[in-house]
Chain A
Amino acid sequence: GIQVEQSPPDLILQEGANSTLRCNFSDSVNNLQWFHQNPWGQLINLFYIPSGTKQNGRLSATTVATERYSLLYISSSQTTDSGVYFCAVNAGGTSYGKLTFGQGTILTVHP
């Protein structure tokens, strides 16, 4: 099956700093999503981005499908950005929408 690797595994920032999270995947994908999981377990949709670039406030994401990677940018980080960030992909075909998740990046933002 498709492999998804995220880096870095852990990231510690001071409030106000910028960061880039990376997601590499081993095969072509139909869908790619970025999520933020809060301390209560809720997966919050950040971006649905199988290709191209999108921006939402302080967050933006770029997926280069031909090179099999996606980047999530967080600017001017806030303590509320802390949590786990997951990249998840769907390989299409007979996978029927199955999302395969990376191991996640644990982000800690200190005041």
Chain B
Amino acid sequence: DTEVTQTPKHLVMGMTNKKSLKCEQHMGHRAMYWYKQKAKKPPELMFVYSYEKLSINESVPSRFSPECPNSSLLNLHLHALQPEDSALYLCASSQALARQRFNEQFFGPGTRLTVL
């Protein structure tokens, strides 16, 4: 099973709201990722977790707060977002091999976020 699930599929929120995006995988992968994709652009990496520890933060604003509560789950907590944060948020996972080597990434279907 190479499935990554994401909830919700769609989310509309105001600039003062707090919401969370959820990602789950049961492939035994120990690396998980958040990417952001604006319309007509490629996905861009936001965060990488390896063995439940944050390995990369691509200078993402603090209004985005990631959390990896266990090896199967990845959350993205959202607070005080701006309209320009509207985008497709994609979660991915991969095997984490020895010596910082990572294998093929598998993506979830994404959450389409609209900030009003």
Which of A42, A93, A97, A102 interacts with B50 by CB under 8 Å? A97
A99 within 8 A of B: yes
Contact A90-B102, Cβ < 8 Å, known A96-B48, A98-B45: yes
Q: Determine the chain B residues whose CB is within 8 A of the CB of A35 once the complex forms.
A: 107
Which of B41, B48, B101, B107 interacts with A30 by CB under 8 Å? B101
Q: How far is the CA of A38 from the CA of B44 in the complex (A)?
A: 17
A84-98 to B contact mask, C-beta < 8 Å, 1/0? 001010101111111
Q: Determine the chain B residues whose CB is within 8 A of the CB of A93 once the complex forms.
A: 100
Nearest to A6 among chain B residues (CB) is B42
Asked whether A97 lies within 8 Å of B94 as measured between CB atoms, the reply is: yes
B90 within 8 A of A: yes
Q: How far is the CA of A45 from the CA of B103 in the complex (A)?
A: 13
Asked whether B42 lies within 8 Å of A92 as measured between CB atoms, the reply is: no
Instruction: Report, as a range, how many residues of chain A touch the other chain.
Output: 20 to 34
Q: How far is the CA of A33 from the CA of B105 in the complex (A)?
A: 8
Q: How far is the CA of A7 from the CA of B84 in the complex (A)?
A: 28
Asked whether A98 lies within 8 Å of B100 as measured between CB atoms, the reply is: no
Contact A98-B56, Cβ < 8 Å, known A31-B102, A31-B104: yes
Q: Determine the chain A residues whose CB is within 8 A of the CB of B81 once the complex forms.
A: none
A2 within 8 A of B: no
Q: Determine the chain B residues whose CB is within 8 A of the CB of A98 once the complex forms.
A: 33, 45, 48, 56, 58
Asked whether B48 lies within 8 Å of A97 as measured between CB atoms, the reply is: yes
Contact A45-B106, Cβ < 8 Å, known A97-B50, A97-B94, A97-B96: yes
Which of A33, A43, A45 interacts with B90 by CB under 8 Å? A43
A56-69 to B contact mask, C-beta < 8 Å, 1/0? 00000000000000
Given A45-B107, A97-B48, 12 further pairs, Cβ under 8 A:
A35-B107, A41-B90, A41-B109, A42-B109, A43-B43, A43-B90, A96-B48, A96-B100, A97-B94, A97-B102, A97-B105, A99-B43
